Structure 1
Amino acid sequence: MISSSKKTQRRLAFAAIGAATALVLAGCAEGDGLGNAAGGGEDEGGENGGGDTIQIAYLATGSSLPLFLMAEKYADEVGIDVEMVEVSSGNDSITGVATGQYETGFAGIGSAAYNAFAEDLPVRYVAPMHMGYVEDYFILSSQVAGSAEEGAEIAEDMSDYAGETFAVNGPGVVTEAVLGLALEQVGLSMSDINLEYIPFPDQVPALANGGIVGGILSEPFPTQAENNDAGYRPWSTPDEPPIPFTGILFNTDWAEANPDAATDFMRAYAMAAEELDTGGWDTPEMLDLIEQYTGADPEIVAQSRQHHIHGDLTVDLAQVLELQEFYMEQGSLNYDELIPEEQIWDFSWRDAALGN
């Protein structure tokens, strides 16, 4: 259980940040995909944050577990004070970090983040948050396939479903790219389908009644859909490296002005990643953390296909570049030439924390 002595503040943060918000969110909708401790990280003032406290934007989803674990277990160990601030979407996190409302936070690897980088805002990805598989997210309506086995047969070639409706939770977010990758496997493309933007919980009844042929659902919703016979995943989890879906962002103005605090944050985060990588995301302690932060039923979470993170916080930038290429093809980026991923990801604080 989370200690009652913790002063973690959970609240919905609404950023009223003017022109910078427009720059970050241009052409993108709400959605993402998918603590504290005693002590004192340095803070040299300026426009960022609340004194010695590192404010962290998070979304109440199980994929944010590395942040929950870092805040509740490892921030104390490295001697930093953190405040967890719940936001309503990954785009809110990007906006808040880019404008200095939060020192750090999460975001799906989507077009809003890429557009922020292109605008030269002081925000960079610095570590992965969770990784996963297309096969774990793509689900077909039970009106199309009455079982996982039938779904696997149908998924061999779904060209007959051109013009039908599929769903993701929002435009320009990582789940849209995941759908694009799934459609490639079934013989379709994004231009072949009718795409609807439907929140994850609302996709479950849409799958059940055939309102959508298929969709991209983040856990625990695909497991709920399968338990309720609303839909079925046609594929098992593959035995291959997972794809990065979300990442940790730093406000680089803050991180460069406070290198000790930024590195200590990364030390604590790396400890959390190592524990999850070696011990799993579904231990009783982890299920308790997810329930405390998200309200999710631990029984359903325990049945869900697990998220992933590398204990050494490595990211395959070639995999990530495929996501940027997808957004470029979809016309959701505010620039015309691909940005090298090495410019978007800054691993200097990770390397300092790990002694690389």
Structure 2
Amino acid sequence: MTEKVNRTSLLVCSLLMIFLSAGAAWGADVVKVGTVASTGEFILNVAQGKGYFEEEGIEPAYTFFDSAAKAIAPLGTGQIDVAGGAVSAGLFNAIERDIAIRIIADRTSVAPGFGFHGIVVRKDLAGTEVTSIADLKGRKIAIVARGSSTESILNEAMKSAGLAYRDVEVVYLPFPQQAAALASKAVDAVIATEPYLTPMLNQNLGVLLAPTDTYYPNAQIGELMFSENFASTRKDVGVRFAKAYIRAIRDFRSAFGPEGRLDGPGSDEIVALIMKYSGTKDEKLLRSIKLPAVNIDGRVNSESIQKDWQFFKDQGLIKGGVTPDKIIDNSFVEEALKELGSAQKNPG
């Protein structure tokens, strides 16, 4: 009789544990996250795989977009809560049209020593006709899109050599098409980013003339964004999301080797998580490319965003009165850091 009671008690306890576990999952705050195929999404993969979202009582519900630009409208209307994006003239113009978005954290930035982004010159020109940025004067350079952050980056490159933006001929090519343009000699140089940069160099299509960090250090390229609805009505959930995100940034950064690749301490685990939770399945490529720095505390570089905004404004690409201070919201990161503490000793 006692044995039967004990078995019954064990069964009840087991069922109760299952119920409580399920109840915790059912009670998690669902956050709708827009994702794209980008190195900037690796931090989300790490946060998911390490269980940081789960620890914060968050259940991400992912929606895939084939470009970050296509996530902006759903983010602005509150169809999704969180997405990665990049500062562009189009973003400011969208916000002017009542697409309500807040920039809350760093997602992709160019700290000194992190050469995941830069100017690549055609192989036949490098070292002979083109040995410095100044030698690009009058030449044809491809960047990803009109009004993109890359356009402002090109402007900074020209300024560093005493040139103006108008001193080069700019053409617009998506990143995946830039290697072919170099190979066919359709352009003289491109501003490329990973995961396209390293294969481009390995195939001897071009030579890295100048990494972006050498002429535009700490450039803010990509950001984590919240919808206005999510930011204003679910502040606590947003802070918890930021906590999980920052913890993942630190794990991601700690796995870097000296050249910004995933070959440092703990990189095996990080690579495995990225391969599990992202569309990236090529481990050799993943370990060979250089990766974005991402601020160790998740903070965005407001000065860089202001500089890009001013360039877009000067080029007549921004209509209306939306300024960076109206869309940058540091409060989520700062609240998260009150619990996590700052890990920042120097910029980057």
TM range (shorter): 0.7 to 0.9
1:245 to 221, 232, 240: 221
Aligned partner of residue 294 in structure 1, secondary structure: coil
The corresponding residue for 2:3 is none
Q: Tell whether the 8 Å contact from 2:239 to 2:335 is kept in structure 1 after alignment.
A: yes
Q: RMSD of the alignment, in Å? A: 2.6
Please report how far the alpha carbon of residue 157 of structure 1 lies from its aligned counterpart in structure 2 after TM superposition: 2.1
Distance 2:151 2:25 in 1: 40
1:268 partnered with 2:244? yes
Query: Hey, what's the Cα distance between the residues in 2 that align with 1:172 and 1:324?
Result: 10
Matched AA of 1:265: F
- Matched residue SS, 1:355: helix
61, 66, 74: which one aligns with 2:38: 61
Quote the residue 1:165 is aligned against.
140
SS of structure 1 residue aligned to 2:210: coil
**How far apart are 1:55 and its partner, in Å?**
1.1
Three-state SS of the structure 1 residue aligned to 2:134 is coil
Aligned CA distance change for structure 1 residues 169 and 322 (closer, same or farther; 3 Å)? same
1:142 aligns with 123
Q: Measure, in 1, the Cα distance between the counterparts of 2:281 and 2:76.
A: 29
The TM-score, its normalising length taken from structure 1, stands at 0.77
Aligned to 1:101: 79
Answer whether contact 1:139 1:233 (CA < 8 A) is retained. Answer: yes
Distance (Å, rounded) in 2 between the aligned partners of 1:315 and 1:152: 38
DSSP-derived class of the 1:234 partner: strand
Shift in alpha-carbon separation, 1:246–1:334, aligned structure 2, 3 A: same
CA distance, structure 1, for counterparts of residue 191 and residue 62 of structure 2: 27
Query: Unaligned regions of 5+ residues in structure 1, if any?
Result: 1-36, 42-51
Separation in structure 2 between the aligned mates of residue 314 and residue 264 of structure 1, nearest angstrom = 15
- State the 1:338 CA deviation: 7.0
Indicate which of 282, 285, 288 corresponds to 2:272.
Answer: 288
Partner of 1:118: 96
What are the superposed Cα offsets for residues 76-106 of structure 1, whole Å, 9 maximum, x if unpaired? 1212100222212221122111011110101
Does the 8 A contact of 2:118 with 2:209 survive in 1? no
Q: Secondary structure of the residue that 1:248 maps to in structure 2?
A: strand
Paired AA for residue 56 in structure 2: V
Tell me if the contact between 1:100 and 1:251 (Cα under 8 Å) persists in the aligned partners. yes
Q: Which moved more, 1:98-107 or 1:175-184?
A: 175-184
Structure 1: how far apart are the matches of 2:142 and 2:133? 20
| CA shift in 2, pair 1:296/1:190, >3 Å | farther
Structure 1 contact 166–214 (Cα < 8 Å) conserved? yes
Q: Displacement of 1:221 after TM fit?
A: 1.0
- Taking the aligned partners of 1:172 and 1:95, their CA distance within structure 2 comes to 17
Amino-acid identity (%): 22
Residue in structure 1 matching 2:158, options 183, 190, 193: 183
Residue 208 (str. 1) matches residue 183 (str. 2): yes
Match of 1:25 in 2: none
Match of 1:125, SS state, is: strand
**2:65 aligned with 1:87, yes or no?**
yes
Does residue 277 in structure 1 map to residue 253 in structure 2?
yes
Assess if the C-alpha contact under 8 Å between 2:157 and 2:216 holds in 1. no
Q: For residues 288 and 166 of structure 1, what CA distance do their matches in structure 2 show? A: 37
Write the deviation string for residues 232-274 of structure 1: whole angstroms up to 9, x where unpaired.
1113554995221111111122222112211111111111112
* Cα deviation digits, residues 3-40 of structure 1 (max 9, x gap): xxxxxxxxxxxxxxxxxxxxxxxxxxxxxxxxxx9464
Give the corresponding residue for 2:297: 312
Find the counterpart in structure 1 of residue 345 from structure 2: none
TM-score by length of 2: 0.78
Cα distance in 2 for partners of 1:177, 1:253 equals 30
TM-aligned CA deviation for residue 296 of structure 1: 5.7
Report the CA distance between 1:114 and its aligned residue: 1.6
Aligned residues: 302
Instruction: Give the match's secondary structure for 1:266.
Output: helix
Query: In terms of Rg, which structure is larger?
Result: 2
Give the Cα–Cα distance (whole angstroms) in 1 for the partners of residues 131 and 92 of structure 2.
35
